[in-house]
Amino acid sequence: MTTEAAPPPGSAGTPPATPTADDYTSVQQSAEFGELRSSYRSFAFPLTVAFIAWYLLYVLLSNYAGGFMGTKLFGNINVALVLGLAQFATTFLIAWFYARYAATKLDPKAEAIKARMEAAE
């Protein structure tokens, strides 16, 4: 099966250069890559710690504060159910927030590094 599709704009039909191990090492040691890694870590680590703390709070309350967790808020809805559903909401919120952060802060930096590596020969 063949296709008649034109190459993507800007590629001029030439395949990207294949970086060598030395290229990867030099990029890893560059200030630009360090800034990218720092941006990722400064976002991901605090958010991960906060979510784990929030999850452990839920587990500990479920184990040791049964009376509080069983408190009815309205109808058959109690505190445990609300906090359990909040765990799901928090998970989706964090995923959305990370996707937005990555698209605006991390991806442009990573794309610039990738483009420079593929252009080098």
1-26 pLDDT, tens digit per residue, is: 566 766 565 556 666 667 778 878 88
One-character DSSP codes across 52-95? HHHHHHHHHHHHH-HHHHT-EEETTEEHHHHHHHHHHHHHHHHH
How high is the pLDDT of residue 80? 95
Report the C-alpha gap between 99 and 113 in whole angstroms: 19
pLDDT of 77 above 90: yes
pLDDT of 58 above 90: yes
pLDDT (tens digit, 9 = 90+) per residue, 40-52? 999 999 999 999 9
